[in-house]
Amino acid sequence: MKKDNLEYLASVLEKADTGPVIEEKEWDYQYIGAKVKDLIKKYDISWEKDTYVPADDDLADRLYQAGWELALESGVYCRNTKKQMLWTQDELQEVIDSGPSELVVGTGDDEAVLRQRRPEQPSRVTILGGAYGTLIEEELFGAMVEAYAMEPLIDIVEPPSIPTAFGRTIRIQSPWEVMAARRESDLALAAITRAGRPGMCVGAAATSGSEIIELAATSYNAYRQTDWHHTSFISENKVSYADLTRAAHFYLTGSVAHTFCDPIYGGFLGGKEGVAIGCVAGPILLRATLLGDTVNAGPSHAHLSCDTHPDLLAAQALSFQAIARNTKLLKGIHIRPAHGPGTKEILYEVAAMALMGVSSGVDYLKSVQAACGVNMGHTSPVEARLCARVAHAAEALSREEANALVTQLVNKYQALIPTADTGIHFRDSYNLETLEPAPAWQKSYEEVIDELKEMDLKL
Amino acid sequence: MNDPKVQIDEFANILDKAENGPMLDINDWDQVYIYQTIKDLVQKYDLKIDIQDPGVPSDDDMADRVFQAAMDLAVQSGVYCTDTQRQMIFTREELEKVLARVPEEVQIGEGSETRVIKKRTVDQEGHVTIGGGFWGVVVPEDLLLPMTTAYAQIEENDFLCTGALRTTYGRPIRAFSPWDTLACWQEMRTTFEAVERAGRPGMTVSGPNTSASAIGTVTTVTHGCVRPSDYGSVAFMSELKVSYDDLIRACHYVQTNSFAHNFYNPIFGGYAGGAEGVAVAHVAGFILMKATLFGEAFNAGPSHAHMSTNTFPPLIPAQSLAHQALSRNTNITCANFTRPNAGPGEKDLLYEIAAYQLALVTSGVEIATGVQTATGRHEAHCSPLEVRFLIQMVRAAEKMTRAEADPIVKKLIGLYKDGQKENKIGKRFDEVYDLDSLEPTNEWQGVVDEVVDELEDLGLKI
């Protein structure tokens, strides 16, 4: 992938070094908190409490204007330099327009294509499946990635993270990060090869660390430029030198770059309306700062962490519609349910998110950070499989139709979120020999599929 | 390289040493594990270097005793990890095993630019590989391409090391920031453009030189940039210390199965002591770098505590003896590293290069690298003409013995030693080269021609 506007890249780094100096507290309270509050009022951002998939195009467009104004007037805060990074209207528009509207990832027979969609557009969404952001024991990592890669409906696989490399603790900013980078990529690439999909695009690198791990993993004998390389913001709209370094590395190596942010519901953005604005401004600024080929905002509930909370559904739906209607950014939905594998509720949450996202115009779905990704090994390919089936069924739905289904699903899980069952470990939900779901988990899946069919979803 | 540099379990075991070895205060390391230990070993092995009339020693027994002293130092002290404050200890058996598997030849480059570097030994005729460049000398952005191209155009230059950028895209380079990534990519892309312009696209290059952190290496040894067949760099700090940054670099070279050279600069007048101590530290450094960083080629560029240069007279026999010790007792691929005091346009620069190469090539090195002109501390004070001159000296020295080189080296040292106090940093590249033709000015070429005549008068067959 040719990425050669190095003067722009240098100008972004320069903004981080030469912008106005701001204290972080001032950023949080003034440039985010007060600003977002004003924008909600100025653009009249509100919707009915029980609507989960709004179909108000004017509201979506006003939300885009609010997000744009936040991006333009507040910009990004660089934590290393305490500087505010600002773009002019023209700069911002130019960089947003320069993003791809279609993206080929992976290689050969295993290529996948991400294409721009709009709300209610009956075109195919791309499915990313994996245990991204969730730890798994090193010895089970390969089996888990293979199990996901064996799912035919998954186009791109996202590996879990490993807590150790060769049995040793991965010390941050140490050579162990390089060891972990190679360990993860070796295991992941071997797993997709065993699954018969050696050219499959892999989300890389999944194991957390400093920028070292990402840089080391994107190299010879490791992850390829055609894999899906991550860099992100810190909430809200903050960036670190480490993330700028990752972004520069992906740009210079011509690698596919995925960028994400996690606006916090109940944080400095405020409530659902503020999160909706954050979910628009974030992707705009991700493209401008980190030059992502794909963007996503995966909002997080301040206490529950999940993004399936009813208040967050419409906020995300509107933000997808806003971006889809006003840009060609390749945007996705990040699915982070409260429940874990083995429970029916996780499947309700995943289905609700898929219906909401696809009808609102997302181009791809990231499925699934089960049980909010905080319980080691609590994730399985079954929930990604369900996501894929529902997502493809939703390609034919209007927002109103999706809203009706989502309302039924939310009623099935919302009361249980605060005490969500985090489910069972991969070794209990799957047969590690056959890499097939355990009978009980398979049965739950089939029962939920039947329930969805009974709700008139064409699976 | 087809075979892995090292099995990953063995490398993990090295990293374990950095995390689990005994804790030591850095002052204890410097004063007891380095200074006192080296002092005792110099006495124990009766090591003596004539620093009043320095030249090229030819005492094989002394060279072997230096090797024994260095093995003792490597076993008794090991390596100090500055990030964890741990002593990385190696048994004699571990080190012997590491040395036993060192191959007699190594390979760099691709296609027609492939170079096979074969073991040489003292007083032996045999081809010396040339690594010519400006080796990290800081240059302004607009000079990097013409300078690098000029070095790449030197036909007998086997591989190329570029300089370091002062700015990137007009902006200052902040260490440990994303600027490291952008600057190092700019340096390496410019280097690859230069070798293309010189008609040598497969030419081995060494870099990046611009970054102060491991980021520079990790970001550029990757798809579309530095190739596994290039000449990577990772180092010890003085004395026998390693940082996480260097272990990160080493780990990245291991994981990408890339060629790497390891270097270490013992300090003359520091904790290693004088000439004999520097020789012991130099040899121990090579052994321990092979065991810790797993390079394929090694150089030590000892540094004078105040002047930085490694052509300071007592350092000539110290380095000669160290290379003789390594050459006679191991297969380690040894490079010298030319860091003269004087700069372009100065005759002293040429005397320093000649003395250094005559001493070290006859002492068995396989690779001659340089020139880090004027100790590399003055922006753009370097030129390809001194590399051309270096090559002439190397080719002459390949046919000589230590005993034949000794009197010429002594005379050359006599010609430059007093001038070293004057810091004759000479001129910038753009003052001694024509930027259009990329050829030296008549004046600078004339100085070189005069010195060549002087050397022939001294009996050197050029």
pLDDT at B331: 98
pLDDT at A197: 98
- Answer whether A245 sits within 8 Å of B178, measured CB to CB: yes
Cα–Cα distance measured from residue A250 to residue B222, given in angstroms and rounded to the nearest whole number: 11
Does the pLDDT of residue A420 top 90, yes or no?
Answer: yes
pLDDT at A274: 98
pLDDT at A2: 79
Give pLDDT tens digits for A48-68: 999 999 999 999 999 999 999
Determine the average pLDDT of the residues in A444-457.
98
**Closest Cα partner for B265 from B292, B299, B290, B306?**
B299
Determine the average pLDDT of the residues in B393-401.
98
pLDDT at B175: 84
3 state SS of A327: coil
- The DSSP bridge pattern shows strands B138-139 and B164-165 to be parallel
- Substitution target in B2, B248, B253 with the highest count of A β-carbons within 10 Å is B248
Determine the average pLDDT of the residues in A183-187.
97
Give the model's confidence band at A70: pLDDT under 50 very low, under 70 low, under 90 confident, else very high: very high
Give the model's confidence band at A159: pLDDT under 50 very low, under 70 low, under 90 confident, else very high: very high
Give pLDDT tens digits for A364-401: 999 999 999 999 999 999 999 999 999 999 999 999 99
Percent of the residues in chain A that have a pLDDT greater than 90, as a whole number: 99
Q: Which of A177, A219, A244 sits opposite B222 (nearest CB)?
A: A219
Give pLDDT tens digits for A334-365: 999 999 999 999 999 999 999 999 999 999 99
Determine the average pLDDT of the residues in B221-247.
97
- Substitution target in B11, B249, B251, B292 with the highest count of A β-carbons within 10 Å is B251
pLDDT at A208: 84
For all residues of chain A together, what is the average pLDDT? Answer: 97
Give pLDDT tens digits for A119-134: 999 999 999 999 999 9
Least confidently predicted of A71-85, B1-15, B160-174: B1-15
What is the ipTM for the molecules in this complex? 0.94
Chain B residues closer than 8 Å to A2 by CB:
none
Q: Is A392 exposed, middle or buried (0-12, 13-18, 19+ CB in 10 A)?
A: middle
Does the pLDDT of residue B1 top 80, yes or no?
Answer: no
**Domains in chain B and their CATH numbers?**
105-457 (3.20.20.460)
- B interface with A, Cβ–Cβ < 8 A, is 8-9, 11-12, 15-16, 18-19, 83, 168-171, 174, 176-182, 185-186, 214-215, 218-219, 221-225, 228, 244, 247-248, 250-252, 255-258
Our separate counts of H helices and E strands in chain A read 16, 19
pLDDT at B211: 83
If you compute the radius of gyration of chain B from its CA atoms, what whole number of angstroms results?
21
The secondary structure element, H or E, covering residue A275 is helix A272-290
Q: A289 is written with which tokens?
A: 């700062």
CA distance to partner chain B, nearest, from residue A99 (Å) = 21
**Domains in chain A and their CATH numbers?**
102-454 (3.20.20.460)
- Answer whether B168 sits within 8 Å of A212, measured CB to CB: no
Give pLDDT tens digits for B99-121: 999 999 999 999 999 999 999 99
Chain A residues closer than 8 Å to B178 by CB:
13, 16, 241, 244-245, 247-248
Least confidently predicted of A203-212, A221-230, B240-249, B257-266: A203-212
Does the pLDDT of residue B3 top 90, yes or no?
Answer: no
Cα–Cα distance measured from residue A179 to residue B131, given in angstroms and rounded to the nearest whole number: 31
pLDDT at B214: 94
pLDDT at B176: 87
Give the model's confidence band at B212: pLDDT under 50 very low, under 70 low, under 90 confident, else very high: confident
Determine the average pLDDT of the residues in B140-154.
97
- Answer whether B248 sits within 8 Å of A177, measured CB to CB: yes
Chain B residues closer than 8 Å to A177 by CB:
248
Judge whether B398 and B287 are in contact, CB under 8 Å: no
Does the pLDDT of residue B135 top 90, yes or no?
Answer: yes
Give pLDDT tens digits for A227-281: 999 999 999 999 999 999 999 999 999 999 999 999 999 999 999 999 999 999 9
Sign of CA dihedral B219, B225, B228, B233: negative
pLDDT at B261: 96
Give pLDDT tens digits for B253-312: 999 999 999 999 999 999 999 999 999 999 999 999 999 999 999 999 999 999 999 999
pLDDT at A151: 98
Does the pLDDT of residue A21 top 80, yes or no?
Answer: yes
